[in-house]
Every structure is written in structure tokens, then in C-alpha cells.
């Protein structure tokens, strides 16, 4: 008896190929890797040098495994911030995504920075390192001709932080500047004693505050100031004024006006475009309302950076303490400026 013929297996488009990885890389290049734009327009080597100058690399006298290059870690840091990734998620993406490996210079590396390495790097550079990155991106903007033009637009935003829960006795002790005796060292590390509460539009908010100065022409964040939520917006006003702006026009909302500030601006040669605020029994006149509307059309440009930061994962921070919050808020502004520089170059915006 003849054996019955076995049915043929269906044909498949899956074909093993020793050069599959190279073929995929070529296809990614043809389709357009979005990270190539960052590679083209951002000098990450210069940013790494800025970080090393502000926060020098540690040197171990006993040898051991050398650290990853600062440039690699700076690239990873920006990928994390722009895509709102945790250390654990970033480690996985570096292992999984070819485009991330190529962007960070890890395509042929047997070792990949893990979550602990990323955490250690951020702790090493701290606030000074984040500020060095912010300043370094500003220098690159100036190098491309995108200087601050058109006037200052100043505003502040609340940056929420995890809410803290204290007992009545704990609150009393903390108000006196003492630490509750029953708090273990581990519990103390998990309590944010720097974040404060404030009310806005009748709602309570807990966390920190980020004030920014955006130039009218390019919508780039030129200066920042950080504080806690309870800090009034107007207290950061002088700190974020940017003397290098080519225009003397200053725009701000109703939270900033005062007779003293207006006199100081006039004395310093600035043109005041701060919105008026009505008082009890002294409502705004029609002319003042029209003035506010004219200012609002320009002042609205400062909301765009805040919206872009929200698109990068929101303004909520998951850190503890003012120092880490300052690092996170500074990196928000630096990441926005980095993306803004790439956009300006990609869109062909001519600096003038």
C-alpha cells in the first residue's frame, strides 16, 4: 500500500535571513527615524561637556567598571524625559528598540545602562547638572541665531507632587521644626516635607511651582525659577526677567500687577503689558478690559510650552523633596527647549 501524501505546509512570508537586522536598519532609514533630527541639530557632545564641567565624573581610586560616557547618559536622560519613561521602562526600551540603541550609541555594546545606572547618574548631576543642560541648550539656540526677541512673556504653573498624609500630632511637631520620634529613617525618606499646599480657583493643590520667561518670537523658555506651590507667582517675576531680550515689552497676567512693580519696570526702561485686575467696588473700565484682551492674545503664547510639557507626560512629579523637584522641573524646561530647537530647524524658521 502506498502511503498517503502529507499535505504541504502553507507558504509563509517569514524567511530567515542572516542580514535581517541590517535590512531592518536600512528600512528604518528610508522611512525616517525621528531621532535622526535630534542627532542632526543637537550637539550632545557639547551638552555632555557642560554636564561634566558642572558635575565632574567620579574617579574611583580602586578601579572597577568604568562608567558609561556622559554623552550616552545625557541622550538617555532626554529620551526618558521627552517620552515620559521611568528608569525601568527606559531600561527595557534600550534593550528592545533598535532606534534607541542607535541614538544612544549602544548598537554594538554588550552592556546596556540599567535602571540603577540611570538613577545614579541623575543623582550625580543633580540640580547643577540639569541647569547646565538648560544653559547648554540655550547656547546652542543662540549659536543658530535664535536669540530672545519680541518681548518677555512671564507665567507660572503648578507642578503637582504626591500628597502627604500626616497625623495631627505629626503636623504639630513638624510645625515646630521637630521630627516625629516614631518615624524610622526609611519613613523619613518617603515623606516630602518641602512641598506645600495652595488654593487656585477654589481648589487645593499640593506640590511645587515653575515660573518661566518665554520670548514672543520663538516661544523658547529663556529663564526659569522654581519654588513651592505656596509661593505667589509674582515673587518669581524679577528672577525670570531676561535682560538679553531685544524687546523691552513685558507681558504677564492678572497675578503680577502692583504699583511698585510698574514703577520699577518703568525705571528700568521696560514697557508694561501686565493685565489689570479689578478690585472690590472698583471694577475694570471698558478700556482696561480691551487692554487686557489685547495683552491676552500675546500672553497666550506662554501657554504653549506648558501644553508641550503636558504632552511629554504631564507636569506631575514623583520625586521627594525640593532638590529633586528642582531637577525634574529644570529638565522639563530643558527638554521642551531641545524639542523646540529641533522644530525650529526642521520647520525652516529663519532666525532674524
Q: What is the mean pLDDT of residues 143-166?
A: 92
In this predicted structure, what is the pLDDT of residue 63?
Answer: 67
- Determine the 3-state secondary structure of 182 from DSSP: coil
Tell me: the pLDDT tens digits for 4-14?
Answer: 666 677 777 77
Query: Other CB atoms closer than 10 Å to residue 56's CB: what's the count?
Result: 11
Q: Cα-atom radius of gyration of the chain, to the nearest Å?
A: 26
CA 53/CA 56 separation, integer angstroms:
6
pLDDT tens-digit readout, 170-198: 777 777 778 887 788 888 888 888 888 89
Q: Nearest CA to 325 among 315, 334, 335?
A: 315
User: For residues 125 and 53, what is the distance between their CA atoms, to the nearest angstrom?
Assistant: 10
Q: What is the pLDDT of residue 5?
A: 67
> Looking at the predicted structure, is the pLDDT value of residue 21 above 90?
no
Q: How many CA atoms lie within 13 A of 248 on its CB side?
A: 9
Q: Which pTM value belongs to this model?
A: 0.89
Measured in degrees and rounded to the nearest 5, phi and psi for residue 293 equal -65, -40
User: SS3 of 55, please?
Assistant: coil
Sign of the CA dihedral 281, 282, 287, 292? negative
Comparing 238 with 181, which gets the higher pLDDT?
Answer: 238
Q: How far is CA 240 from CA 4, 71, 146, 151, in A?
A: 85, 29, 18, 13
Task: Please check whether residue 51 is in contact with residue 74, taking contact to mean a CB–CB distance below 8 angstroms.
Answer: yes
What is the CA 8 to chain-centroid distance, rounded? 58
C-alpha cell at 221: 523658555
H/E element, 125: helix 115-143
> What is residue 251's predicted lDDT score, i.e. its pLDDT?
95
The whole-number pLDDT of residue 2 equals 64
- Average pLDDT score, the chain: 89
Q: Which pLDDT band, with edges at 50, 70 and 90, does 31 fall under?
A: confident
Among 114-128, 167-181, 327-341, the least confident range: 167-181
pLDDT confidence of residue 325: 93
pLDDT value at position 71?
96
In tens, the pLDDT along 275-324 reads 998 888 788 889 999 999 999 999 999 999 999 999 887 788 888 889 99
Amino acid at each position: 500500500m502506498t502511503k498517503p501524501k502529507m499535505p504541504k505546509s502553507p507558504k509563509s512570508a517569514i524567511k530567515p535571513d542572516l542580514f535581517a537586522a541590517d535590512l531592518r536598519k536600512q528600512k528604518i532609514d528610508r522611512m525616517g527615524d525621528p531621532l535622526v533630527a535630534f542627532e542632526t541639530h543637537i550637539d550632545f557632545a557639547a551638552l555632555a561637556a557642560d554636564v561634566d564641567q558642572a558635575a565632574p565624573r567620579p574617579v574611583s581610586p580602586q578601579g572597577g567598571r568604568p562608567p558609561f560616557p556622559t554623552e550616552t547618559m545625557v541622550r538617555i536622560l532626554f529620551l526618558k524625559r521627552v517620552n515620559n519613561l521611568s528608569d525601568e521602562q527606559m531600561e527595557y526600551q534600550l534593550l528592545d528598540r533598535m532606534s534607541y540603541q542607535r541614538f544612544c550609541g549602544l548598537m554594538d555594546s554588550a552592556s546596556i545602562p540599567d535602571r540603577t545606572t540611570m538613577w545614579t547618574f541623575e543623582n550625580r548631576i543633580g540640580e547643577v547638572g540639569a541647569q547646565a543642560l538648560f544653559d547648554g541648550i540655550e547656547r546652542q539656540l543662540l549659536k543658530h541665531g535664535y536669540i530672545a526677541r519680541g518681548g518677555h512673556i512671564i507665567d507660572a504653573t503648578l507642578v503637582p507632587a504626591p500628597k502627604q498624609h500626616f497625623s495631627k500630632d505629626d503636623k504639630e511637631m513638624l510645625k515646630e521644626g521637630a521630627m516625629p520620634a516614631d518615624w524610622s529613617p526609611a519613613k523619613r525618606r518617603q515623606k516630602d516635607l518641602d512641598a506645600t499646599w495652595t488654593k487656585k480657583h477654589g481648589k487645593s493643590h499640593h506640590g511645587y511651582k515653575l515660573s518661566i520667561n518665554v520670548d514672543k518670537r520663538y516661544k523658547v523658555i529663556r529663564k526659569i525659577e522654581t519654588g513651592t506651590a505656596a509661593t505667589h507667582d509674582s515673587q518669581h517675576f524679577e528672577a525670570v526677567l531676561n535682560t538679553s531680550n531685544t524687546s523691552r515689552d513685558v507681558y504677564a497676567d492678572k497675578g503680577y500687577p502692583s504699583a511698585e512693580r510698574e514703577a520699577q519696570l518703568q525705571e528700568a526702561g521696560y514697557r508694561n503689558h501686565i493685565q489689570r485686575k479689578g478690585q472690590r467696588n472698583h471694577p475694570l473700565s471698558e478700556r482696561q478690559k480691551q487692554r487686557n484682551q489685547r495683552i491676552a492674545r500675546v500672553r497666550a503664547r506662554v501657554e504653549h510650552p506648558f501644553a508641550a510639557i503636558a504632552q511629554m507626560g504631564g507636569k506631575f512629579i514623583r520625586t521627594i523633596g525640593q532638590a529633586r523637584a528642582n531637577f525634574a522641573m529644570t529638565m522639563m524646561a530643558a527638554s521642551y527647549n531641545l524639542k523646540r530647537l529641533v522644530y525650529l530647524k526642521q520647520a525652516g524658521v529663519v532666525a532674524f
